[in-house]
Structure 1
Amino acid sequence: MSSPPITGPGDEPVPSEPGASTRVAERPAEHAPSGSVTGAGGAVGSPKPGTVPATGIPVRTILLGVIGACLAALGALGAGGTLVRDPILSGTSLTWIRFGHGKNLAELVVYLGVGLLVWAWVRLGRHVRAGRVGRGGVLLAITAWAVPVMLGPPLFTRDVYSYLGQGLLPLEGLDTYALGPAALDGPISENVAWVWQTTPAPYGPLFILIAKYVVAVSGHNMIAGVLLMRLALIGGLVMLCWVLPKLAERMGGNGTIALWICAANPLVLVHLVGGPHNDLLMVGLLALGSLMVMRGKHVLGIVLVTLGAAIKIQAVVVLPFLVWIWAKRLPGSEKARFLRAAGSGMVVFFAVFAACQLVAGVNLGWIPALSANSVVINWTSLPTGLGQTLHGFASWFFSPSYDLFINTARMLGMALLGYIAVRQWWKARDGEDRNVMRRASLVLLGMSLLLQTTFPWYFSLALALAAGIALSEWATTVIVFGSSFLIAVSYPDGDAATYNFLHVAVMTLLSLLAAVSLLRPDPLRFSRRHKGAHL
């Protein structure tokens, strides 16, 4: 009986059968060995039937990511979403890392950590795509990389303090859908970013209920509040780790690659876990609900997706697509099947949403607050960026209204998004799992690009459903580039870095390097081993 493979000094699994002690050389996916997860034509598919599942543990790659995650968490003590009155560093000799050159140094530590984490993720991707590492290795990496950022200060955002404020408002007898955290006194209010101080909560009743319970337990202890909020949301990552391989099985993809693309993605770990952001729980419920519908548990699936929408309304976009899957499994004519599925789905949706509102003790006041994000003007939203560009050109000839250009571009963007959503929904009417999920993913991607305001973590919605599809090599490379770039388009404290064009240029070059590195190990040829391999 042969023993399981171990990890050799070069970070590849080493077969332990007698006479098989030679270390497997790291190779790009296009030269993958038998059992590769690179499908025909460059598509990333499932291993061939009969091949032995990969069980190697890439120890050095995982440790590289752990070092990166620890550095990011450590640097966040000085440069992250730190507290105004910090009980950890206040009164110590380390307070200098919060100001001036000290903060600049802390920022460099954060960026170095994130860079190492991206590097580890790309290395892990090469192993996975070549069939050397299986699900166990990826799950171990996800766990090891998530823990450090869960224990550190908020990374690249201060939104968690807004969450705590939105949970405290109803505990104080105030309407969280009518008032912002500025109506409160105490440490929670003073730590909320200025732009959200007077903004009512744009979140659904289920999240307000979660936030209330978190604050009810943590009180005004800010560190406890952040940690408990992360614990409340981390279930989304757990759901993703369980669901993604099963989604891939139904959608023609590879479960290990799906885990690597989405759950191990530094964009998810740094922003959704390290932030944290409530999108994490919404995305987990969205993916789990979609799987349940595909498995024939239609009512349960609609319930789960509705719970996701009761956290953030974006999840509701997927429900009309799931109706097609449900309708396909019903008897009768095409029209009758659709009407039955759509009618039943609406009944379930409204019943679940109403129950969430009743339990949370809130009304529909969050709907007007959905436009609150529009106060953030950033070119990462394509319509906003187009409006800014056109305004800049027009300014050479006359003095145009800035708001006119921005608002017009955003209206056109929303119209385009509506067209894409309707068109993709109609093309999904065959009810085939793979086709429905692919088209729903396209709409979620369109939302991330065309909404009035786009934040980096919005792209995790599309990733959660698209990761299970047999993606082409080109698409996978684009995901690596986009994820690497979006991680650090803001500063570690959450302020936007998108108008620091030197910063953007450097991030673009580094992201290109990460994308190329997925296909060509050591593209800059720093390693002697790879220099020799190219001779």
Structure 2
Amino acid sequence: MATTTDSVASAEAPMEESAAEAARAAARARESSRFPYRTIAMGVVGSIVMLLAAPGAAGTLVRDPIIGTGPLSWMRYGHGHVLSTAVLYVGFALVVWAWVRLGRYVLAGRIGTKPILVAAFAWMAPLLIAPPLFTRDVFSYLGQGAQLLHGLNPYDYGPAALDVLPDVVQNVHPLWQTTPAPYGPLFLLVAKNVVGITGNNMIAGVILTRLVLLLGLAGMLWALPRLVRHLGGRLPVTMWLAVASPMTVIHLVGGPHNDLLMLAFLTIGVWAALEHKHALAIALVTIGMLIKPTAAIALPFLVWVWANHLPGEESLFRRFVKAVTPSLAIFGVVFTAGTWVSLGSFNLGWVTGLQAPQIIANWLNFPTGLGEVAHTLVNFVVDVPVSPFVTVARGLAWMALLGVMVWQWWKARHGGREAILRMAITLLAVALFAPPTLPWYLTWGFVVASAFAWRRIHLAAMVAVSVFLVLVYYPTGEQSLYDWWFIIGVIAASLYGAASLWKPDPLGLVAAWRRRGDQFTSDTEDTPQTGRESEHPTTPTSRATS
């Protein structure tokens, strides 16, 4: 009898475990269907605050038709400008806070992709009509597009040579007034058509540029889920990292930056290569290169993917030759046609224009920073100029970078995921070691890498990097890298943001504030629990500190 009872019990145990597991799965499904309304709303409030402060603190116009000398002109001068800047940073903090909260929900499996995309679009929407944030590059885009529109070669002259559209010309940063364009001819064709529509209206030009660049975001959104299936990542993590992050919301859209358009062709091209659509992949990435030349770095890696997809038992060398030959032919045709269509001739002046950004020197570029440190040490002993130190450091870095690129390319020779990972690493290496290094350049590698699997500690590091890379430039677009006290604050804020991905309120500041408030609240004043679910991804009792 005991044996029979034990048998029944042992048979029922798996059934109970199965029912418990089903119940847990159903609970997880219900949990993941909840929508983080308050978190999204927090980010929307932050974006609106940034929009309202931007006319006084961001990349404002020389002749502003909205503020001008009217009653709001105080926002652009003196204490008004300081107040506007402080308010804009408050808005930025709210956006970052919302993004980190969203990340905790993602890591806890509480939300899927839809809330992340809704949050990203909601945070971007107010910034579509804001003045340029943390950059003034869009004014250069319009100036160079105006040159092409009026028959002046942007690769021979800077916008200052243009004698029409005065508002467009005078708003280009002084550094770029006499500098040839460093962008691909296809993007200048885009800028030319924008200026052809908006003319001398700078506000309309900035807004229309953003709307055009959103096509790049659409391309990324199409490609990333497909890349995740190939590269082994989690789609919510990828979307949180590549689409909802401050690097995309504030830099690429709020900026805006043409990197967003290039990334669309890059990500779709990588997907096409993994899907055995190799001719399409080479063509798409070549088009991306005609927008932002650095996309060309991906091409040699895609050749390895093609070579490894070829059938047969031939040697790696033979398969490589079979892949590189059509790749070069496709590249040549697309490159020639794209340049001709954009410029009306096969003008390679844009290749030499790539040297123009190298006039930017700051320690965000690793070799430049090393050169400046060496100069500082030597300068304690003897007064010497900084340029030789920076030049030598950059020269050595170029040689080291070339070695890294060749090594990563060779490590990619087996194709597949490994080739794409090596490609992302190389894109990041180029952004860091090839002058100049500008914050949004790191999106080249990050967006591709976001489709891989990530550990939580690495995602926390990405929070710190993302916050840092936005704040190292002032909202006006000028760098803050040599304002050392400010940079110390930026580093502290970045580390706090990273720690917040692990634990809400890591320093206990909100909890301390609540405890202090509780001293003034009697037990009879406590409100009963409403039963509303907390948005916190782990424990419902920690809503107040999240």
Q: By the TM > 0.5 criterion, same fold?
A: yes
1:513 maps onto 2:516 in alignment: no
The answer to whether residue 262 in structure 2 is matched with residue 282 in structure 1 is yes
Q: Which amino acid aligns with 2:332?
A: F
Matching residue of 1:403: 387
Residue 408 of structure 1: how far off its partner (Å): 0.6
User: Residue 433 of structure 2 aligns with which residue?
Assistant: 450
User: Which amino acid in the other structure matches residue 280 of structure 2?
Assistant: L
User: What residue in structure 2 maps to residue 11 of structure 1?
Assistant: none
Q: Cα–Cα, structure 1 residues 318 and 272, in superposed 2: closer, same or farther, change >3 Å?
A: same
Residue 471 of structure 2: aligned partner: 488
Question: Are the structure 2 counterparts of residues 382 and 97 from structure 1 closer, same or farther at C-alpha, using a change threshold of 3 Å?
Answer: same
Aligned match of 1:152: 130
Q: Indicate the residue corresponding to 1:322 in structure 2.
A: 302
Change beyond 3 A, Cα 1:357–1:127: same
Q: CA deviation at 1:233?
A: 0.9
Aligned to 1:87: 65
Q: What amino acid is aligned across from residue 269 of structure 1 in structure 2?
A: V
> Does 2:377 correspond to 1:393?
yes
Q: Give me the whole-angstrom Cα distance separating, in 1, the residues matched to 2:57 and 2:543.
A: 38
- The match for 2:332 is 350
1:114 equivalent to 2:109? Answer: no
Counterpart for residue 30 of structure 1 = none
Structure 1 position 331, deviation (Å): 2.4
Q: Which range is displaced more, 132-141 or 325-334? A: 325-334
| Maintained 8 Å contact 1:246/1:255 | no
Alpha-carbon deviation of 1:262? Answer: 0.9
> What is the rounded CA distance, in whole Å, between the counterparts of 2:74 and 2:30 in structure 1?
54
**CA 1:273/1:426 → structure 2, altered by over 3 Å: closer, same or farther?**
same
Task: Say yes or no: does 1:307 pair with 2:287.
Answer: yes
Q: How many residue pairs end up in the alignment?
A: 488
Given candidates 228, 233, 240, the residue that maps to 1:260 is 240
Which residue of the partner structure matches residue 225 of structure 1? 205
The residue type paired with residue 116 of structure 1 is L
CA drift of 1:532 comes to: 10
**Aligned residue among 334, 346, 351 for 1:367:** 351
Q: State how far apart, in whole Å, the 2-side matches of 1:532 and 1:106 are.
A: 29
Aligned partner of 1:279: which letter? D
Kindly tell me: are residues 91 and 395 of structure 1, through their superposed partners in 2, closer, same or farther at Cα, counting changes over 3 Å? closer
CA contact (8 A) 2:504 2:545 kept: no
Give the counterpart letter for 2:421 in structure 1: R
Amino acid at match of 1:517: S
Deviation at 1:400, TM superposition (A): 3.2
After TM superposition, the structure 1 = structure 2 runs for residues 102-181 of structure 1, keeping only pairs within 5 Å, are 102-181=80-159
User: Contact (CA 8 Å) 1:53, 1:134: kept in 2 or not?
Assistant: no
Residue 322 of structure 2, aligned match among 316, 337, 340: 340
Match of 1:203 among 162, 180, 183: 183
In structure 2, C-alpha distance between the alignment counterparts of 1:223 and 1:232, rounded to whole Å: 14
1:419 to 387, 392, 403: 403
1:445 aligned counterpart, secondary structure: helix
Q: Is 2:251 aligned against 1:271?
A: yes
Per the alignment, do residues 56 and 292 of structure 1 end up closer, same or farther by CA in structure 2, a change over 3 Å counting? farther
Find 1:470's aligned residue among 453, 456, 474. 453
2:101 paired with 1:101 = no
Q: Quick one: which amino acid aligns to residue 190 of structure 2? A: I
1:192 maps to a residue whose letter is V
Encode CA deviations 1:297-318: one digit per residue, 9 max, x unaligned. Answer: 1111111111110001111101
Which letter maps to 1:522? Answer: D
Q: Which one-letter code corresponds to 1:335 in the other structure?
A: F
Q: Does 1:214 find its partner at 2:194? A: yes
Aligned to 2:528: none
3-state SS of 1:359 partner: helix
Give the Cα separation in 2 of the matches to 1:401 and 1:221. 43
How far off its partner does 1:412 sit? 1.2
- Distance in 2 (CA, whole Å) between partners of 1:400 and 1:530 is 57
CA shift, 1:531, in A, is: 10
Which whole-Å CA distance do the structure 1 matches of 2:275 and 2:490 have between them? 41
Q: Distance between the aligned counterparts of 1:356 and 1:422, measured in 2?
A: 28
* 1:490–1:533 CA distance, 2 compared to 1 (3 A): closer
- Cα distance in 1, alignment partners of residues 32 and 413 from structure 2: 37
Percent identity (aligned): 44
Structure (1 or 2) with the greater helix fraction: 2
> For the residues of structure 1 that align with 2:544 and 2:255, how far apart are their CA atoms?
42
How far is 1:533 from its partner?
10
- Measured after TM superposition, the shift of residue 35 of structure 1 is 10
CA–CA distance in 1 between the matches of 2:408 and 2:34?
Answer: 40
Gap change, CA 1:277 and 1:35, over 3 Å in 2? farther
1:242, distance to aligned residue in structure 2 (A): 2.1
> 1:244, CA displacement in angstroms?
1.6
Amino acid aligned to 1:510:
A
Q: CA deviation at 1:124?
A: 0.4
- Aligned-pair distance for 1:335? 1.8
* CA distance, structure 2, for counterparts of residue 473 and residue 199 of structure 1: 43
Given the alignment of the two structures, is residue 238 of structure 1 paired with residue 218 of structure 2, yes or no? yes
Give 1:398 deviation, angstroms. Answer: 2.0
Select which of 436, 450, 460 maps to 2:419: 436
In the alignment, the residues of structure 1 paired with residue 195 and residue 338 of structure 2 have an alpha-carbon distance, to the nearest angstrom, of 19
Deviations 1:272-297 (A, max 9, x none): 10111111101121111101111111
Gaps of 5+ in 2: 1-23, 515-540
Q: Are residue 498 (structure 1) and residue 476 (structure 2) matched? A: no
Structure 1 residues 52, 326: CA separation in 2 closer, same or farther (over 3 Å shift)?
farther
- The whole-number CA distance in structure 2 between the counterparts of 1:451 and 1:195 is 19
Tell me, in whole angstroms, the C-alpha distance in 2 between the residues paired with 1:532 and 1:266: 24
**Per-residue deviation at 1:71?**
1.2
> In the TM superposition, what is the alpha-carbon distance from 1:34 to its structure 2 partner?
6.5
Contact kept in structure 1, 2:152 and 2:162, CA below 8 Å: no
Aligned letter for 1:399?
A: D
CA–CA separation in structure 1 for the residues paired with 2:447 and 2:303? 19
- 1:511 to partner: Cα distance: 0.6
What is the TM-score of this pair, normalised by structure 1? 0.88
- Which secondary structure state, in structure 2, belongs to the residue aligned with residue 367 of structure 1? helix
Kept after mapping to 2: 8 A contact 1:327/1:341: yes
Q: Distance in 2 between matches of 1:326 and 1:35?
A: 43
The one-letter amino acid of 1:364's match is L
Match of 1:8 in 2: none
The code of the aligned residue for 1:384 comes to: T
1:73 to 1:533, Cα distance in 2 relative to 1, 3 A: closer
* 1:385 counterpart letter in structure 2: G
C-alpha contact (below 8 Å) 1:55/1:136 kept by paired residues = no
Contact 2:60 2:131 in 1 (8 A): yes
Structure 1 residues 412, 503: CA separation in 2 closer, same or farther (over 3 Å shift)? same
Say if 1:532 and 1:160 are closer, same or farther in 2 by CA, change over 3 A: closer
